[in-house]
Structure 1
């Protein structure tokens, strides 16, 4: 069976990406990160999602990006601001170069296990404006990975980055997830953590908007 490394945060996007990789016949190697984020709810969710999806492996890599902060997700001195689904600026929840770091680690794991496929659940349509969720970044990163790995540069076994939702709305993604049997109740999106989602951060607002547009009940609430 062909192998795929799937970046699994525990959120909505990555959960659907995991199930899509499964539906496409990949053996699943889920990869999550403890990067110094302000809560561990997503990591708890990632563990539950990986188990339910039947992942072959689920690794959690420690990368303490909170050592230099620069984001309200990794710097306790910064507040997570209330969300605005119509915002045009980059919010303070942007973690500097996070997806670049994550995809680099995913590429290392992929080469180690001889997997030619990496899945990431980013979107440039319905998201918070993050620069590392855009298609041009994903395409550039794929090229860089294949210049910097033996598989890509010497063995003619290029590594493909799958970003299946990059041009899809979250509502379309949720509809696909429902078809694939994703248990949305296991996912966690809220930036603030806590016992229940806050309902007011960017991620909570985007999630609520998407479920309403999809006409599907969010079982995580």
Structure 2
């Protein structure tokens, strides 16, 4: 039964969730908020939705680029290099991004007569992104449930998983991760040095996947 909207970036995590939950997904929603890498991600989001026959919607959030402060919105040179565990990675936070996207997706779900909104946050996100934490997911789900007539809930099945766990699921599903985008710099190739590139490399290696990503380095 098609009962869900999914927030689909076009990265490894949300693409894996798209394939894993495809039988339940009525609509995939991508958001263009003006980040360095949005265009690269969204192209892959559209590709996978076409392949699976899932309806796709693109929503522009231009105000975030105009009013929010984040290195993801300030050009490739502003994005720090290193590991997510490094303190400088906090500059990549886009304030309350997931809260805004979940709110919009919830309104769409209610308008479409659907029951759930899916997101693909994971355990590695918690330390740096407050709007990926288990506490946030629980609170948002309570809010969407209370604030909609059908009692729409947030489904975030990867919240306690590592990115390597997700990559293993993708491997079992036969997903070609060369058709996903992670790099925060958004160049022609993955830079291989920013936090999300480093995390991508580590996850592939731990999952036993021959990394198909083309890196600048």
- Per the TM superposition, whether the score is higher than 0.5 is yes
Q: 1:128 to 1:189 in 2, by over 3 A?
A: farther
Q: Distance in 1 between matches of 2:122 and 2:18?
A: 15
> 1:3 matched to which residue of 2?
3
Q: Distance in 2 between matches of 1:126 and 1:97?
A: 14
Q: Is the 8 A contact 2:28 2:57 kept in 1?
A: yes
Q: Is the 8 A contact 1:69 1:75 kept in 2?
A: no
Q: Does 1:194 align with 2:187?
A: yes
Q: Name the SS of the counterpart of 2:28 in structure 1.
A: strand
Q: List gaps (5 residues or longer) in structure 2.
A: none
Stretch deviating more after TM superposition (181-190 or 200-209): 181-190
> 1:31 matched to which residue of 2?
29
Q: Name the SS of the counterpart of 1:73 in structure 2.
A: helix
Q: Does 1:111 align with 2:123?
A: no
TM-score by length of 1: 0.90
Q: 1:14 to 1:128 in 2, by over 3 A?
A: farther
TM-score by length of 2: 0.91
Q: Name the SS of the counterpart of 2:58 in structure 1.
A: strand
> 1:177 matched to which residue of 2?
170
Q: Does 1:71 align with 2:64?
A: no
> 1:209 matched to which residue of 2?
202
How big is the shift at 1:89?
6.5
Q: Is the 8 A contact 2:82 2:195 kept in 1?
A: yes
Stretch deviating more after TM superposition (10-19 or 44-53): 44-53
Q: List gaps (5 residues or longer) in structure 1.
A: 153-158
How big is the shift at 1:76?
3.7
Q: Distance in 1 between matches of 2:156 and 2:19?
A: 13
Runs of 4+, deviation exceeding 6 Å: none
The structure with the largest helix share of the pair is 2
Q: Name the SS of the counterpart of 2:150 in structure 1.
A: helix
> 2:139 matched to which residue of 1?
140
Q: Distance in 2 between matches of 1:206 and 1:34?
A: 23
How big is the shift at 1:78?
6.9
Q: Is the 8 A contact 2:46 2:56 kept in 1?
A: yes
Q: Distance in 1 between matches of 2:75 and 2:185?
A: 11
